[in-house]
Chains A and B, each alone.
Chain A
Amino acid sequence: MLESTAFRVHGNFVAHIYFGMTAPMDQSIRKLSEYAHQLRFADISDEAVHECKRRLIDTLGCAIGAFDAEPSRIARAVAARYSGNPPARVFGTLRASSPDHAAFANGVMLRYQDYNDSYFMKSSGHPSDTLAAVLAIADAVHADGRAVITAITLAYEAFCNFSDVLEREQGWDYVLYGVVACALASAKLLDLDAAQMAHAVSLAVIPNVALEQTRAGELSMWKGCAAANAARNGVFAALLAQQGLTGPEDAIEGRWGLQRAVGRFEWAPFGGQGGPYRVTQTHLKYFPAVVHSQSPIAAAVELHGKIAIEDIQSIAVDSYWVAKRYADRASPLWHPGTRETADHSIPYIIAAALIDGTISAASFSEARLRDRRITDLLGKMTIREDAAFTELHPAAWPCRIEIRSRSGQHVIATSNFFKGHARNPLTDAEVETKFCQLTTGFLDSQQAGKILAKAWELERLRDIGEVIGLLSVNRAMDRES
């Protein structure tokens, strides 16, 4: 039922605002916004609550770790010009900005290294990108830990449900999932009613379709910033809806709505409606390298030390479709000259892991890029696609590495679920280790310890600002303008 109420504004004409629990919206918007409106902290499983905390820690670590990246500096410089009422703070500097610009700056930092979590279904993405919006709005409204957990759970449901039902073959960038997820999570934190939430979704969908070019050809800085921009516009959509702005009723299903551009879809069941919450289904990255290298790293680490590097005669790698990218031996992926190429090169990463027994940021230093031992191994390596593996992916991430030595030795290791995969999860201690590694040199160990302690107690936290307030990088702040 639609109730329309008209009232006079200062001028001599009349505006309309729709009230009531049910907005006259299309089914897709209604289902999503009604789910969002009814979701309560008490409904969320203990497991999902715990996974929210782990992702909060992981994401904050990623953000601080990318503090010095050039796009991080640019985004902070823009955010520093503004102050919101209420304000939201920028990680690292703790400068007060507006919620939308804080979401952008924090979003750039947490995503820039491509080290935050990921989700793979019909299409893929980094659902933790949405924490940029969640934390900016939560900081602004002094949300408590339970509200933050509820908002994170909700953002993941929206983002990952899109990934479940939409193929990424339409020529569009998937950041739209993030805009919608961020709008909903922000709306939840702002305590909007179901009708306002529906308008927030509509206002998120309509103007924020993005071009795939961001991921094509020679990559620009925007690759790491597009999701942060989605968070910025998701926050804005929620703020507009909070003030009573209305969006198109059939933004998703209408004749000229989203489905016209991306194809028809229907939501899969949402978390708690017979299935697990999706926040428990995403994968954390343990090694700082492209996600497709995570299983190869696990196999290579297993083989580390079994055959002396100098004795290796050949390395045969079997993988899923990603192997096709390595068909051309002249490709930079076989001869990485920059850090960005190296951390996306599976052969380079396997070689480094075989030599070192692990992968860290140091694996991609200038010196290592020129390391003869690595380039020698690259010359001995082949990568093939195994059709059976392609069948299994992305439910599994199979990789098999077979090494033969000059002396006739023969060793094989196979990995299906990389370390950090939802089915091979990091331990809480490993989540902490990653956080500490990322924040070393930016936060002192006492700060890091306090953040971890508060994050693990998130559901008892009175104000998320207590965690955000600890994220101050205590050096080089004089260079920020």
Chain B
Amino acid sequence: MTTLVEQLSSYAASLRYEDLPSTVISQAKRLIIDTIGCALGGYAGEPAKIARDIAGSVTSTRPATVILSGQRSSPDLATFANGVMIRFLDFNDGYTSTGESGHPSDSIAAVLSTAEIMQRSGKDVIAATVIAYEVFCRICDEADLKPLGFDHVTVGGMASTAAAARLLGLTEPTIAEAFNLGIAPNIALYQTRIGNVSMWKGCAYANASRNAVFAAMLAARGMTGPAPIFEGVGGYFKAVTRAPFRLAALGGREHPFKIMECSIKRFPLGQYSQTVVEAALEARTRIASADEITEVRIETVSAAVRLMAGDPEKWAPSTRETADHSMPYTVAVALIHGSVAEHHFGDEYLRDPKIRALAKRIKVEASEEAERRMPEAMRCNLSLVTRSGATHTAVVDYHKGHYKNPMSDAEVEAKFRGLAKNVLEPAQADRLLEALWKIEHVADAGEIVRLTAAARP
């Protein structure tokens, strides 16, 4: 019987760039561009600044570069800093399933750092990215960790381990040790996502990747870890999922790649609110002013109701981290301001009585129809009831950027430029984009991150 780690390490060791269909390569490039854009947009976030300060306190004989700042740090701390920047705005891609959900692009932080220290090529970066997505999404499919009390970054660490171990050039049995070493000590609790959300929300996956890189480096040096880490009497199946699972066939040959089922976010907020905010914006076009609204009725998937409107803090958010995961807040902002952007999570908006008052007029319900469509669609049916008694309804199944309603390359670029505008001149952003579209021709992957630093005014 093959263990799960054996299956994963065999895959991580053997998938070749040459075997990837062009659609997969193109999707990987779009997601890498989107992810680096998110890091540029998240650059100024306080947790990002903290993570860079810590990364900046360490030098390395084989350094990895921090995005935009160009600081040279250890690969684990560069991964952490880049990972925090990528995730800070919660604007990077999303994968949803009936099991666990999350942002596989978070693992690109681990890909970039390990590729840089090993001077891997752009093609290696693409292959490792596809591997990370495959590991993340396939494991997410099998178990929802939230009701068990654990955080999806536990799976994120596995995805980052796969990518890091692959890029370090480890053999299959050594990749297995990297998994053993990466999984055993890094089980994270779900509390990160609940109540008054702290800065850690945007750092948790980055931390999992930091530890994944460390585990891969230990394995590379000959360290061995506990096995079998999933199936053992004290393993993951016993303590975390409380039941064993097997993975569906991993992408390659005749099997589809999971990276094709990942969606690019249109709005900088939780992925469960993307269709909701889009529906709100659509319905808004039919009224003259948000002042007319007496009630907002939202029917969508139950997970969205639970995660984005399920606890009292989400109805009166006091931190940026809570607000961008609050359905009432983001819908109210959309209805009043006609868009939801980063600056709408600033303090003057968080304290705005108009937003708070409108949020109170929102009713959120799980809908059976939406539930049936999960995870293929995240249907939202939103109705505005106005003073005159009229009802304006908008229905959105796939938000713009959803893999079934994909952004064009031009739209991906537009999102990138919007994210880069606070830190790069437009011409610099264009040059960076031009280089990123040619990533498969880059000989030394370190160039990718170094380019972001060079682009800095």
Known: A81-B61, A211-B236. Contact between A257 and B189, CB under 8 A? yes
Interface string of B195-214 (1 = CB under 8 A from A): 11111100110011001001
Bound state CA distance, A257 and B189, in angstroms? 6
Question: A256 and B218: CB pair below 8 A?
Answer: no
**B-facing residues in A375-422 (Cβ within 8 Å):** none
**Mask of B50-65 contacts with A, CB within 8 angstroms, 1/0:** 1001100111111000
Interface size for chain A: under 10, 10 to 19, 20 to 34, or 35 or more residues? Answer: 35 or more
Check: B149 CB closer than 8 A to any chain A CB: yes
- Report chain A residues within 8 Å CB of B60: 81-83
Output the nearest chain B residue to A98 by Cβ-Cβ distance: B58
B195 contact from A199, A222, A250, Cβ within 8 A = A250
**In residues 219-254 of chain B, which contact A (Cβ within 8 Å)?**
221-229, 232-236, 238-240
* Binary A-proximity of B325-366 (CB < 8 A = 1, otherwise 0): 000000000000000001101110000000000000000000
A469 contacts chain B at the CB level, 8 A cutoff:
no
Which B residue's beta carbon lies closest to that of A239? B54
Q: Which partner residue on chain B sits nearest A24 by CB separation?
A: B196
B188 contacts A206, CB within 8 Å? yes
Q: Mark A216-229, 1 if CB is under 8 A from B, else 0.
A: 11111111011001
Stretch at the interface among A69-77, A182-190, A329-337: A69-77
Query: Counting chain A CB atoms within 10 Å of each CB, which of B58, B191, B224, B238 scores highest?
Result: B191
Residue A311 is within 8 A (CB to CB) of chain B in the complex: no
Q: Does A123 contact B (CB under 8 A)?
A: no
How many residue pairs between the two chains, A and B, have CB atoms under 8 Å in the bound complex?
Answer: 242
Q: A216-B226, A244-B50 are in contact. Are A249 and B196 (CB under 8 A)?
A: yes
Q: Which B residues are CB-close (under 8 A) to A15?
A: 45-47, 320
Interchain nearest-CB distance for B241 vs A (Å): 12
Cβ-defined contact, B49 with A71, below 8 A: no
Kindly state whether residue B194 has any CB partner on chain A within 8 Å: yes
Instruction: Kindly identify which residue among B43, B57, B153, B227 contacts A84, using a CB–CB cutoff of 8 Å.
Output: B57
CA A17 – CA B221 in complex, angstroms? 40
Q: Is B183 an interface residue (CB 8 A)?
A: yes
A247–B188 alpha-carbon span in the complex (Å): 13
| Contact of A14 with B223 in the complex, beta carbons under 8 Å | no
Residues of chain A within 8 A (CB-CB) of B442 are none
A215 to B225, CA, bound (A): 11
Is B190's beta carbon under 8 Å from chain A? Answer: yes
In the complex, B405 has a CB within 8 A of chain A: no
Expressed in whole angstroms, the minimum distance between the Cβ of A288 and any Cβ of chain B is: 23
Q: By the criterion CB–CB under 8 Å, are A71 and B189 in contact?
A: no
- Which residues on B sit within 8 Å (CB–CB) of A12? 44, 342-343, 346, 422
The answer on a CB contact under 8 Å between B233 and A213 is yes
CB of B192 within 8 Å of the partner chain: yes
- Given that A216-B234, A256-B194 are known contacts, is A207 also in contact with B208, CB under 8 Å in the complex? yes
Chain B residues, Cβ within 8 Å of A4: 318
> CB-CB < 8 A to B432: which residues of A?
none
Q: Add 13 more A-B contacts to A13-B320, A211-B240, A220-B227 (CB < 8 A).
A: A10-B43, A12-B343, A85-B59, A173-B184, A199-B198, A206-B200, A207-B151, A210-B187, A216-B232, A226-B185, A243-B54, A244-B46, A256-B191
Interface, chain B (partner A; CB < 8 A): 43-47, 49-50, 53-54, 57-62, 74, 77, 146, 149, 151, 153, 180-181, 183-200, 203-204, 207-208, 211, 214, 217-218, 221-229, 232-236, 238-240, 318-320, 342-343, 345-347, 422-423
Cβ contacts A to B, 13 pairs, < 8 Å: A6-B347, A12-B44, A202-B198, A212-B233, A212-B239, A213-B229, A213-B235, A216-B233, A219-B226, A220-B225, A230-B185, A243-B54, A260-B189
